[in-house]
Structure 1
């Protein structure tokens, strides 16, 4: 079995029609155009997305992303 790097794995999943269901903190920040520092600040204030520790990784699931976006949308409209 050959070893693939992360981008090759992502490309293979995309080609197979498999959606990503979680992201690292860095990937989450890139998706939303925010810095890791801002994410940490939001998390420390209790306003960041829910994070899950999976072994030695911390991930943000797509469900947590949707909830976080909805909560922020409510804040912007009030």
Structure 2
């Protein structure tokens, strides 16, 4: 006697629209009403300029090598934060 099982497959669908809306609202709440994306970007650029300023000769050579390899973007006028 053989026993065959007809297993039914259930299809589950999830609408994540509500969860995504809730997540986005939570992000905006966490950022706060005074969040200023352009100011954040300017601050980040200033931080990078400061990071790559005042390099000694050996550091500048390492920086130039990383720029040439495409690891870091060129900053300033040909040298790190001139």
> TM-score scaled by structure 1?
0.27
Give the number of the structure whose alpha-carbon radius of gyration is greater.
2
> TM-score scaled by structure 2?
0.26
**Higher fraction of strand:** 1
